[in-house]
Amino acid sequence: MITREPEFLPPPINMRGRLGRAVLLNCRNAGRALLILLEAMTSLRFVLSKRSRPVVLQQLYVTGIKSLGVISVVAMFTGMILALQMGLELRKYGQEVNIGLAVMVSMLREMGPFMTALILAASVGSAMAAELGTMTVSEEIAALEVMSISPVRFLVMPRLAAMMIMTPLLTFYACMLGVVGGAIVGATQLGVSVPAYLDNATRWAENKDLYVGLLKSFVFGIMITTICCYQGFATTEGAVGVGRATRRSVVVSFLSILVVGYIITRLFYQ
Amino acid sequence: MIRFEHVSKYFGERKVLDAVNFKVERGETFVIVGFSGAGKSVTLKHMIRLLTPDTGKIYVGNDLISTSTGADLVRLREKFGLLFQGAALLEWMSVFDNVALPLREKTNMSDAEIEKRVEEKLRQVNLTGVHDAMPSELSGGMRKRVGLARAIVMNPEIILYDEPTSGLDPVTSRAIDQLIDRMRLELKVTSVVVTHDLFSALAIGTRIAMIYDGRILEISRPTDFIRSQNEIVKRFLDAQYITKKGAWERTDHETQ
Ligand SMILES: Nc1ncnc2c1ncn2[C@@H]1O[C@H](COP(=O)(O)OP(=O)(O)OP(=O)(O)O)[C@@H](O)[C@H]1O
Ligand SMILES: [Mg+2]
């Protein structure tokens, strides 16, 4: 059952009690979030059913198309900043043509997945937490459960599907725009011609960089959905609670993106 | 049909239900009245297992709903329709989609059949011409009635109403009362109605239970309820100008 009864825990006796409880509660919450993810994953088989299709399309639109603007600007400027910073350093050694490689690799490996995930967590993720949170406090989730309609299949699954598809796509788009931004800075400020820049960028970047970046973004997409939907379902106490759930969903998403991003990098680049 | 055995419920330190015992018979309209915050909604939520008792047992038919899970719970919940106190409509779906939701998700009915059934239920709750409206465009009373239409759309055996007539004008309220009564008479539906409105309680109830401070003070038939000797029940009746005759008796300045 997704809806939960209000919990009342006696105040902890001392610091140790408080710490222990915090650890236990966090473990339990993580477990519950994983169960939601598991159920959403298994209900992904309904993603193309007649009933789910419009909802999934709607979510794809909200996640993908609506985020395109912000992601374009952020990706472009990230590429420009990278090119400028590294270009100025490399110019001291007459190596400025290598900004192509530098921008391409840092976008593909880190900045692309990372920036896209942060933007999606802050915009799409927080909206998920707020929506589901409002539904929880106004008993809409309870109403679904009473009708024996799984809130996870009905609400989380379309969001998960949309994020699983859109995060890698948007990441790829962000990487390419970043490279374009780098090319503009290279041509206008550093005297690196566009063909030379592109040649340098494509010659040294490996396919592995692309694949690992996309894998990372895929994992980020799943993580953001799980965390934000979980926080939404765990909302209590009216409008204040919705605010709290939204804030927490963004904070937890950001931290997990950083930590998991490091772990994946560590796994693939020893 | 529904049986509470020594059901107690705490919210933190606060005891909201205190060893409650009662039984709702098949085919009756069981009305629960009581002061605000007495535990009426909590009692109703226990029946469909949105809340679990801390001690005690709740049976639906012969099945123990208070501990059932998974497929058993789904099967038991299918017998119920529930009108929430706040209607709990899905805000991003139109009125029609809200009422049609259980039919679309739980049955194989064709679109035409669904449309026909939804129309019928919306008409029964006196709502027409709001098909495509979104819940946020409706008044409180209209939302209530959409919630009611959704609760009855699957033709359940047991219907739980949390304040079906609060926020409605007197005429619509009586229409809802008649709807509840008709379902008992024609379809043999078992109803549990939580209400503040003693007039409808007396009109539709086969038995009335008064909850006070987590306990059931009195369960009796309407005719006995208005003759109750219990001080708190009397106070509750007096506050709504209901006397032993079941009619008005104005004592204020107008008659002086
Ligand atoms: N989720 C909850 N968390 C904490 N306390 C609760 C919760 N739900 C209900 N209560 C408490 O339980 C008591 C009974 O609440 P309930 O909603 O059953 O009242 P009610 O009889 O339906 O009142 P009303 O007529 O105003 O709807 C109240 O004192 C309320 O504070
Ligand atoms: Mg109530």
ipTM entry: 0.86
Helix (H) or strand (E) holding B6: strand B2-11
Any atom of ligand 1 within 6 Å of the Cβ of B210: no
pLDDT band (50, 70, 90) for residue A200: confident
Residues across chain B:
256
- Residue A248's CB: how many other CB atoms inside 10 A? 18
Q: What is the pLDDT of residues B145-167, one digit of tens each?
A: 899 899 999 989 999 999 888 87
pLDDT of residue B242: 67
Residues B160-187 have a mean pLDDT of 86
Contact state of A147 with B105 under an 8 Å Cβ cutoff: yes
A149 and B102 within 8 Å at the Cβ level: the answer is yes
Q: What average pLDDT does chain A have? A: 89
Tokens of residue A198, six digits: 């592109």
Q: Is the CB of A5 under 6 A from ligand 1?
A: no
Assess whether the C-beta atom of B86 lies below 6 angstroms from ligand 1.
no
For an interface test with B, give the residue of A135, A138, A140, A147 to mutate (most B CBs within 10 A). A147
What was the pLDDT predicted at A5? Answer: 74
pTM for the structure as a whole: 0.88
Ligand 2 mean position, distance from CA B164 (Å): 11
pLDDT for A251 beyond 90: yes
**Structural fold of domain B1-79+157-165+179-256:** Rossmann fold (3.40.50)
Mean pLDDT, chain B, whole residue set: 86
Nearest CA in chain A to B86: A138
Question: Can you give the pLDDT at residue A230?
Answer: 94
pLDDT at residue A249 is higher than 90: yes
As a whole number of angstroms, the distance between CA B230 and CA B225 comes to 10
Write down the pLDDT at residue A199.
87
For residues A39 and A145, the answer to whether their CB atoms sit within 8 Å is: no
Q: HSE on the CB side for B58, CA within 13 Å?
A: 27
Cα(A10)–Cα(A12) distance, integer angstroms: 6
pLDDT confidence of B244, banded at 50, 70, 90? low
Q: Tokens standing for A208?
A: 């592995």
* pLDDT over 50 (residue B249): no
Per-residue confidence band for B105, with pLDDT thresholds at 50, 70 and 90:
confident
Residue with tokens 């929430």: B84
pLDDT category of residue A1 using cuts at 50, 70 and 90: low
Task: Answer yes or no: is the C-beta of B40 below 6 A from any ligand 1 atom.
Answer: yes
- Taking CA atoms only, the protein residue closest to ligand 1 atom 14 is B39
Of A116, A160, A114, A85, the closest CA to residue A265 belongs to A114
B34 lines ligand 1 (CB under 6 A): yes
Supply B112's token pair: 């035409």
Q: Which chain A residues are within 8 Å of B105, Cβ to Cβ? A: 51, 147, 149, 154
Q: 3-state SS string over A154-165? A: HHHHHHHHHHHH
A-B CB pairs within 8 A amount to 53
Q: Ligand 1: distance of its center to the CA of A223 in Å?
A: 36
**pLDDT tens digits, residue range A34-80?**
999 999 999 988 888 878 888 899 999 988 888 899 999 999 999 99
Decide if B88 and A147 are in contact by the 8 Å CB cutoff.
no
Q: Would you place residue B243 in the very low, low, confident or very high pLDDT band (cuts 50, 70, 90)?
A: low
Say if residues B111 and B119 touch (Cβ distance below 8 Å): no
Residues from chain A that touch B50, judged by Cβ atoms under 8 A, are 3, 142, 145-146
How far B102 CA sits from the closest chain A CA (Å)? 7
CA of A217 to the centre of ligand 2 (A): 46
* Ligand 1 atom showing the smallest separation from residue B85 Cα: 27
Contact flag B102-A140 (C-beta cutoff 8 Å): no
The pLDDT assigned to B14 comes to: 86
Q: Which atom of ligand 1 is nearest to the CA of B40?
A: 21
Q: Which residues in chain B touch residue A1, judged by CB atoms under 8 angstroms apart? A: 69
Quick check: A142 and B84 CB within 8 A? Answer: yes
| Residues of chain B positioned with their CB less than 8 A from the CB of A145 | 50
Pocket flag, ligand 1, residue B32 (CB < 6 Å) = no
Q: Which residues of B101-115 are buried (b: 16+ CB within 10 A; e: fewer)?
A: bbbeeeeeeeeeebe
Q: Ligand 1 pocket, B237 CB below 6 A? A: no
Residue type, A166: M
Domain ranges, ordered by start, for chain A = 15-268
Residue A247 tokens read as 């804030």
